[in-house]
Amino acid sequence: MGDAFFSEVPGPIPFGGLDSDDPLAFKVYQPDRMVLGRRMEEHLRIGVCLWHSFAWPGTDMFGTGTLDRPWLAPGLDPMDAARQKMAVAFEFLEKLGVPYYCFHDADVAPQGDSFTEFRANLDALTDDALGYQERTGVTLLWGTANLFTHPRYQAGASTNPDPEVFAFAAAQVKHMLEVTQRLGGQNYVLWGGREGYDTLLNTDLRREGAQLARFLHMVVEHKHRIGFTGALLIEPKPMEPTKHQYDYDTQSVHAFLVRNGLEGEFQANIEANHATLAGHSFHHEVAYALANGLFGSIDANRGDPQNGWDTDQFPNSVEDLALPLYEIVRSGGFTTGGFNFDAKLRRQSIDRTDLFHAHIGGIDTLARALLVAADMVEKGTLSREVEARYAGWSSPLGTAILDGTETLASLEAKVAAGEIDPVRASGGQERLENLVNQRIWAVDRSSGG
């Protein structure tokens, strides 16, 4: 099948510009376009995930697969099917023209009848992937182990009540970390899919926390032992599949790392829809991570504003993405991370080209948001406003408070003596919101993409 699967798309996807009538052309994304001294491709570092796009047949909890994914049909030889899947995935990556992909061990390797068979399958497919990487120039943004699909993980992986399940998870992560290293992966991701609880009636929170910490320490030890130079990332999510997940949001992950002596070893892989599930904005999660040295990578997608679950839709709103992009760009951008499309088609999007439409739209939206972000960084309007708001902290009083000169008692004396008399200032939220909109609209008008 190989080259023929997406036969309607010759590829690579061309740049058409805003007036293009070609639905299979980029309207904004131009990999070589310079934005703030860096190529657009290097700003965005786009990746495609193999699970939703190639290993998921379009099932939901009420229905079987709807999508045209012949390699997932029952009855095929598992390794033949896996090879077909990889060939089609690389055909897609090459035609879309993006630099990265991401996968779980189980997305590419058939389970086989034992761990050793699974490992051997994964090794053989890693050899294949290396060949594809060489031929296409596409490389691995991150690898991860699937510690949530197999029934053995029903009660979690490292937080399982059974240490034998912990051991199994450890074996899988050890091997996948090495596979990621072989493929030149820039990051290794840990998403605690079932590291949480369904009911506290059967759960020992203290124990499970200690197990999770021990597991993360083992991952760090192995990373250093094998000399993996990529970043270790934890992907927060507050719930689903478990009722409550321990890696609730970036701030809880941060606290867990600090409490367990793991600070500096992990950063966050922030997913937009996980932020909204946690009751935050995506902007909040990105800003928190950047402010605390935890920013690693992004899983790009969006939720549904009415439905409260992880719908993993492709992002399509510049307004939602402009401010997260602004935070990223003004902080110097990604180092090892990038924008991985952890997003899936709707079950009715059954044409082969739909996978292209979804990614093209998502990439163009990110590219547009990048232009807005760069414009806001260049104008410096927001940063000047924020700086002015905190100007008092550079005054003698502000400095004396922060450097420890002042105490509660010395401050009481000053206030009582009438030396201190705060004057309120407007937060100016509406004015600033207007400013952001103005930049979005101005970029719309001036930049033909």
Distances (CA, A) of 208 to 116, 155, 202, 314: 28, 11, 12, 34
Nearest distance from residue 274's CB to Ni ion, in Å? 6
> Is 249 near Ni ion (CB under 5 A)?
no
Which range binds Ni ion by CB under 5 A, 91-99, 141-149, 152-160, 308-316?
A: 308-316
Nearest distance from residue 191's CB to ligand XLS, in Å? 4
Q: Which of 235, 249, 285, 320 binds ligand XLS (CB under 6 A)?
A: 235
> Is 172 near ligand XLS (CB under 6 A)?
no
Q: Which of 191, 256, 295, 326 binds ligand XLS (CB under 6 A)?
A: 191
Active site residues: 104, 107
Selection from ligand XLS, Ni ion, none that 91 binds (CB < 5 to 8 A by kind) is none
Radius of gyration of the chain (CA): 24
Q: Which of 84, 126, 144, 311 binds ligand XLS (CB under 6 A)?
A: 144
Which amino acid is residue 194, in one-letter code? R
Nearer to ligand XLS, 38 or 243 (CB): 243
Which range binds Ni ion by CB under 5 A, 63-71, 145-153, 335-343, 381-389?
A: 335-343
Distance (Å, whole) CA 177 – CA 185? 9
DSSP H/E element including 361: helix 354-379
> Is 344 near ligand XLS (CB under 6 A)?
no
DSSP H/E element including 48: strand 46-49
Distances (CA, A) of 434 to 256, 365, 373: 38, 21, 15
> Is 276 near ligand XLS (CB under 6 A)?
no
> Is 271 near Ni ion (CB under 5 A)?
yes
Contact criterion met (CB below 8 Å) for 258 and 225:
no
Nearer to ligand XLS, 95 or 175 (CB): 175
Nearest to 253 by CA among 273, 235, 271, 274: 235
Nearest distance from residue 269's CB to ligand XLS, in Å? 7
Nearer to Ni ion, 105 or 299 (CB): 299
Nearest to 226 by CA among 175, 192, 186, 276: 175
Nearer to ligand XLS, 151 or 427 (CB): 151
Q: Which of 91, 94, 247, 310 binds ligand XLS (CB under 6 A)?
A: 310
> Is 100 near ligand XLS (CB under 6 A)?
no
> Is 107 near ligand XLS (CB under 6 A)?
no
Selection from Ni ion, ligand XLS, none that 94 binds (CB < 5 to 8 A by kind) is none
Q: Which of 271, 320, 327, 364 binds ligand XLS (CB under 6 A)?
A: 271
Q: Which of 27, 43, 69, 237 binds ligand XLS (CB under 6 A)?
A: 237
Q: How many degrees, rounded to 5, is the angle at CA 250 between CA 247 and CA 255?
A: 75
Q: In this structure, which long-range contacts are made by residues 168-173, counting pairs with CB atoms below 8 Å and at least 24 apart in sequence?
A: 168/115, 169/145, 169/215, 170/215, 170/218, 171/115, 172/105, 172/115, 172/145, 172/146, 172/147, 173/145, 173/147, 173/219, 173/222
> Is 285 near ligand XLS (CB under 6 A)?
no
Nearest distance from residue 145's CB to ligand XLS, in Å? 8
Nearest distance from residue 235's CB to ligand XLS, in Å? 5
The SS3 of residue 263 is coil
Contact criterion met (CB below 8 Å) for 254 and 218:
no
Distance (Å, whole) CA 377 – CA 372? 9
Nearer to Ni ion, 84 or 267 (CB): 267
Cα 230 to chain centroid, rounded: 15
Nearest distance from residue 241's CB to ligand XLS, in Å? 9
Selection from ligand XLS, Ni ion, none that 144 binds (CB < 5 to 8 A by kind) is ligand XLS
Query: How does DSSP assign 127-186, residue by residue?
Result: HHHHHHHHHH--EEEEEE---SSSGGGTT-STT-SSHHHHHHHHHHHHHHHHHHHHTT-S
Contact criterion met (CB below 8 Å) for 130 and 140:
no
Cis peptide before 78 (omega within 30 of 0): no
> Is 195 near ligand XLS (CB under 6 A)?
no
For 93, residues 6+ apart whose C-beta sits below 8 A from its C-beta are: 48, 101, 136, 138
Eight-state DSSP code of residue 404: T
Q: Which of 94, 299, 320, 327 binds Ni ion (CB under 5 A)?
A: 299
| Total chain residues near ligand XLS (CB under 6 A) | 10
Which range binds Ni ion by CB under 5 A, 20-28, 121-129, 142-150, 297-305?
A: 297-305
Output the residue with the shortest Cβ distance to ligand XLS: 191
Nearer to Ni ion, 6 or 248 (CB): 248
Distance (Å, whole) CA 14 – CA 91? 16
Which residues bind to ligand XLS, rule: CB under 6 A? 104, 144, 189, 191, 235, 237, 271, 299, 310, 342
Which residues bind to Ni ion, rule: CB under 5 A? 271, 299, 310, 342
